[in-house]
Chains A and B, each alone.
Chain A
Amino acid sequence: MKLSANFGYLGAGLTLLAAALAPFSLYGLFTKGFSSLGLRVSETYSGGPLVRTIQSAGYTIGIHQRVSPNMLQREKAFVQLDWKPASALPAHVSDRVDIDGDGKPDVNVRFDVPKDPKASLSVNVESLDPLYEDMRNVGKEKFSALIVRVDNAILVRVPLAQ
């Protein structure tokens, strides 16, 4: 038998071995390998890392790092604010939030918290700093300007003025 044929059968044998190992070790190994690459989900979806938390009466407001669009992305730059736990929020929330931590409020955020967690939400944001955009009765049309309930938190994304 030619050497190349021997290599061919060796390859076929190794392929069969790989098939036998796939569910028991290969799959897990590749999954762990992928996880260890240090990749993150795009911040347009995840909202970016949490940088600061403001304590309020019975709830907290989480402030995320500013998220900027990449290349030709259709979304604007935004900052995500999390109110949680949603169960501890009053029926109407109106908070002046200091986003950049300079001691001055940057936006005034107002929204109602319906008792039904599946009810639709809408938010009004009054910009107190020209860096941020106003929002009037905004729901969840865009990733960069929205209010949504995720598990036991209410997330508001405030777009930045271009």
Chain B
Amino acid sequence: MASKFPPAKESRSIGRSFVLTIPIAIWSALMFTAYAHANRSQWIASLITVVFEVVLFFMMVRTRSTYRWRRWFFVALGLLFPVGFIHEVISMRGTMGIPIEEMIAGRTPFCFIPIPLLILPAALTKMLVFPGSILPNGGMSGGGMAAMAGIWLAVTIVVGKGWCSYACFFGGIEEGVASVPPRARVRKIDPRWRYGPWAVFLAMVLLSLALFEPAYCMWLCPFKAVSEYVAARNTVGVVQNGIFVVLFAGLVIALPLLTKKRTQCAFFCPFGAFQSIFNKTSVFDVRIDKSRCTPCVLCQKSCPTLSLTEESIASGKTLMSCMKCGACVDACPRDAAVWHIRGTEVSAKPERARLMFLYAAWAMAIMFGGGIIAEGLATMLHIFV
């Protein structure tokens, strides 16, 4: 039966892979001019980053495999973001804690996670419940909330929920941790945990409106433990920081080690839930070709966010929480899990759909994450070399 199908993931020729990589090499070089500055360590770090990005794309094209190569980029992004960021905040303030003075001055760096929490208060009062700056010259990197909102919208239009696999500078940490153990110790996970991000999202949106503060950033963000936190001015601050550390240890370290899943993304992240909505607007998705599927459920087992169920496999679709990481496509021995362009037949040229998606997603990953990787590398070069 298996011989009826071509061997999975037959390699593309080196020459053809090289030609297909040229657009990304040009794109990387263009972005390189944006983040290579005068400093020698930044220049070397940028060059390493460009080579890294281009080689990974070449390997994705040559091996027809997405997940394992994308993972290198994503884990590097997750690990190097805190290096560059923490170094920057400590150089500027001497601490990872945000002093109240910086909040009042509107100099709190703004990440993408609070974006959905700001919408309701902004719609009702025209006020942004975040102690940052709207215009450039706010934040630490010269970009305020408007800049982050602009980047988020541009990337979201292109990759939808793919943000969580190609742009999120936090997800790489747990993806890296989840890849450490050879096999999962906890295999049975109650599927109802999948609703966790929606519950957190709803609670945080309502709390942000009621308390008029970015409730998730103030109380629940596990990544405060590796970026910056509210300076503990009083008992409440100590409690907040304790919650950040416990959630980071549990959701980003312990549970990914036990389950080999991205547990923070799959069960907790409110931004991920919000971003799922944009899977409905994205032209690219992952489908199951029912004519090829046995079903062996290897795709379901490989999915880091539980975005495949037996029912969804039977219907030939992933759930809306799918972040297009490509794990299921790589795991399928019969090429039944495929990249797909909406409107086309599922079996029609899945490799063409994969390449079109990858050009778009990798361009966004390089644009947004490339600079972060280069900055983290430059910091390491600056400190250790």
Question: Which A positions have Cβ atoms within 8 angstroms of B?
Answer: 2, 4-9, 11-12, 14-16, 18-20, 22-23, 26-35, 37-47, 69-74, 139-141, 143, 146, 148-151, 155
List A contacts of B100 (CB < 8 A): 140, 143, 146, 148
List A contacts of B338 (CB < 8 A): none
Known: A6-B343, A41-B106, A70-B212. 14 other contacts (CB 8 A): A4-B344, A7-B343, A9-B341, A28-B150, A31-B147, A35-B146, A37-B122, A40-B126, A40-B127, A41-B131, A41-B133, A71-B211, A73-B213, A148-B100
List A contacts of B359 (CB < 8 A): 16, 19
Whether A5 contacts B106 by the Cβ 8 Å rule is no
**Chain A residue at smallest Cβ distance from B133:** A41
Of all A-B residue pairs in the complex, the 7 with the closest CB atoms, nearest first, are A8-B343, A31-B150, A11-B283, A30-B150, A4-B343, A45-B131, A70-B212
List B contacts of A146 (CB < 8 A): 100
Which of B42-50, B151-159, B187-195, B315-323 lines the interface with chain A? B151-159
User: Separation in Å of the A48 CB from the closest CB of chain B?
Assistant: 11
Could you give 9 example pairs across A and B, Cβ below 8 Å? A9-B343, A22-B363, A27-B154, A40-B127, A45-B104, A45-B130, A69-B212, A70-B125, A148-B104
* B212 touches which of A26, A44, A139 (Cβ 8 Å): A44
- Cα(A36)–Cα(B364), bound, Å: 25
User: Separation in Å of the B247 CB from the closest CB of chain A?
Assistant: 21
Whether B153 contacts A39 by the Cβ 8 Å rule is no
The contact size tier of chain B is 35 or more
B34 within 8 A of A: yes
User: Separation in Å of the A77 CB from the closest CB of chain B?
Assistant: 13
Whether B212 contacts A73 by the Cβ 8 Å rule is yes
* B153 touches which of A30, A43, A46, A148 (Cβ 8 Å): A30
B58 within 8 A of A: no
A31 with B343: in contact, given A44-B212, A45-B103, A148-B101 (CB under 8 Å)? no
List A contacts of B99 (CB < 8 A): 140
A12 with B210: in contact, given A31-B150, A47-B104 (CB under 8 Å)? no
User: Separation in Å of the B235 CB from the closest CB of chain A?
Assistant: 10
List B contacts of A42 (CB < 8 A): 121, 127-131, 212-213
- Cα(A37)–Cα(B128), bound, Å: 11
- Cα(A44)–Cα(B153), bound, Å: 27
Whether A12 contacts B341 by the Cβ 8 Å rule is yes
**Chain B residue at smallest Cβ distance from A41:** B128
List A contacts of B104 (CB < 8 A): 45-47, 143, 148, 150, 155
B367 within 8 A of A: yes
Whether B348 contacts A5 by the Cβ 8 Å rule is yes
Whether A15 contacts B210 by the Cβ 8 Å rule is no
**Chain B residue at smallest Cβ distance from A69:** B212
- Cα(A32)–Cα(B134), bound, Å: 11
Q: Which residues 198-233 in B have Cβ within 8 Å of A in the complex?
A: 209-213, 233
- Cα(A47)–Cα(B105), bound, Å: 10
Whether A35 contacts B360 by the Cβ 8 Å rule is no
Whether B135 contacts A8 by the Cβ 8 Å rule is no
Whether A12 contacts B353 by the Cβ 8 Å rule is yes
List B contacts of A148 (CB < 8 A): 100-101, 104
B29 within 8 A of A: no
* A26 touches which of B31, B154, B341 (Cβ 8 Å): B154
- Cα(A44)–Cα(B121), bound, Å: 13
Q: Which residues 354-385 in B have Cβ within 8 Å of A in the complex?
A: 356-357, 359-360, 363-364, 367
Task: Give the most central of A26, A70, A141: most B CB within 10 Å.
Answer: A70
User: Separation in Å of the A32 CB from the closest CB of chain B?
Assistant: 8
List B contacts of A141 (CB < 8 A): 233-234
Whether B343 contacts A34 by the Cβ 8 Å rule is no
List B contacts of A27 (CB < 8 A): 150-151, 154
